[in-house]
Amino acid sequence: MKVTLRTDVLTNNNKAAEFNRQQFTETKTLVINLMSSPGAGKTTLLEETVKALAGKYRVAVIEGDLATEKDADRIRALGAQAVQINTHGGCHLDARMVAATLGEFDLDEIDILFIENVGNLVCPSGYDLGQNHKVAVLSVPEGNDKIPKYPTMFMRTELVLLNKIDLLPYLDFDVDVAREDLLAINPISGLLPLSASTKVGMDEWFTWIDQAYQTCIQS
């Protein structure tokens, strides 16, 4: 019985994800679903990304959190449109929650929509939101064991941003080991070390976005 219910939930999610994907495809909107544990630096990365892409792309953000508009307010402070979803206890966004926000956006006027998922290394990975790309953020203080311990998150991503590399001199984290662990469970995902604070590595992230956008509008 429990298995049937879960199947229904995912089927409904997948229908909503297809609806979202259709809207995004028709309007040629690049959509990136950003996932990580709480505090890895998703919003900080998005703040720096919104600032860097201003004038080049029209960027909007969906923020997912259990409560508050804090992250949406951080994005709005930069002049970009942000819609906050509060899950009221839910540990991930689902495609229906995203679909319910789409009326608030004019997708024809948006080039790139970032979705900051709820901070959690488990639940968000199982839910298709209709995005073009799933990107995970792992941060240096979380330690080297997280990729092997949370494989469902890292086996489904196309890119892992290794954030807070400015802290490498102070913490016991080996970037080569992270690269090997990721390769073992997901040979197609890249690993990009960067720091949203010092901006080291951020240009490669922006280049990745450029390429993803070109692929999106040509498809």
Ligand X SMILES: Nc1nc2c(ncn2[C@@H]2O[C@H](COP(=O)(O)OP(=O)(O)O)[C@@H](O)[C@H]2O)c(=O)[nH]1
Write out the residues near ligand X by the rule CB under 6 A: 36, 38-44, 119, 163-164, 166-167, 195-197
Q: At what angle do helices 202-218 and 42-53 cross, to 10 degrees?
A: 70
36 binds, among ligand X, Mg ion, none (CB under 5 to 8 A by kind): ligand X
Question: Distance between the two ends of the chain, CA-based, in angstroms?
Answer: 41
Cα–Cα distance between 120 and 39 in angstroms, integer?
10
Compute the least distance from the CB of residue 177 to Mg ion, in Å: 26
Q: Are 42 and 34 in contact (CB under 8 A)?
A: yes
107 binds, among Mg ion, ligand X, none (CB under 5 to 8 A by kind): none
Nearer to ligand X, 171 or 177 (CB): 171
Question: Token pair of 56, please?
Answer: 């080049």
167 binds, among ligand X, Mg ion, none (CB under 5 to 8 A by kind): ligand X
Compute the least distance from the CB of residue 72 to Mg ion, in Å: 10
Q: C-alpha angle 17/22/28, rounded to 5°?
A: 120
Q: What are phi and psi of 75, to 5 degrees?
A: -75, -45
Residue 163 contacts Mg ion per CB under 5 A? no
Residues binding Mg ion: number (CB under 5 A)? 3
Q: Are 31 and 115 in contact (CB under 8 A)?
A: yes
Compute the least distance from the CB of residue 215 to ligand X, in Å: 26
Distances (CA, A) of 187 to 159, 160, 184, 216: 11, 12, 7, 22
Residue 139 contacts Mg ion per CB under 5 A? no
Nearer to ligand X, 16 or 159 (CB): 159
Nearer to Mg ion, 41 or 193 (CB): 41
Interface positions, 79-138, toward Mg ion (CB under 5 A):
none
Those residues whose C-beta lies under 8 Å from the C-beta of residue 174, and which sit 6 or more positions away, are 144
Residue 43 contacts Mg ion per CB under 5 A? yes
Residue 71 contacts Mg ion per CB under 5 A? yes
Nearer to ligand X, 25 or 197 (CB): 197
Which residues would be at the binding site for Mg ion (CB under 5 A)? 42-43, 71
